[in-house]
Amino acid sequence: MGSFSIWHWLIVLVIVMMVFGTKKLRNIGSDLGGAVKGFKDGMKEGAADDKPAAPQQTAGQPPRELHDSTTIDVEAREKSKQG
């Protein structure tokens, strides 16, 4: 009783097609496909932009540290002012 047979899924599919119609379902499918494609393209662009640049080093100076101890977390600062 826990699993559905193929007949259950066919009945559900027929009911959905009767309620929404095939044209509306086709439009929903193409919209969903376009959204997924746009999301994948955005993820590819975001991954290319997220690559960290190598820290620039000038001659005669020690390399700069990546973690700066003077950085203040703005969200924590705003929360402490509110509460």
pTM (2 d.p.):
0.40
In a domain, 41, yes or no: yes
In the block, residue with structure tokens 């259950």: 8
If you ran DSSP here, which 8-state letter would residue 58 be given?
Answer: -
pLDDT score for 11: 94
In this structure, are residues 55 and 66 in contact, taking their beta carbons and an 8 Å threshold? yes
Q: What is the pLDDT of residue 81?
A: 63
- Answer yes or no: is 26 within a domain: yes
Calpha distance 42→8 (Å, rounded): 38
Cβ-proximal residues to 66 (8 Å cutoff; 6+ apart), any chain: 55
**55 or 14, greater pLDDT:** 14
Residue 13 lies in a domain: no
Average pLDDT over residues 40-69: 67
Is residue 40, in this structure, part of any structural domain at all? yes
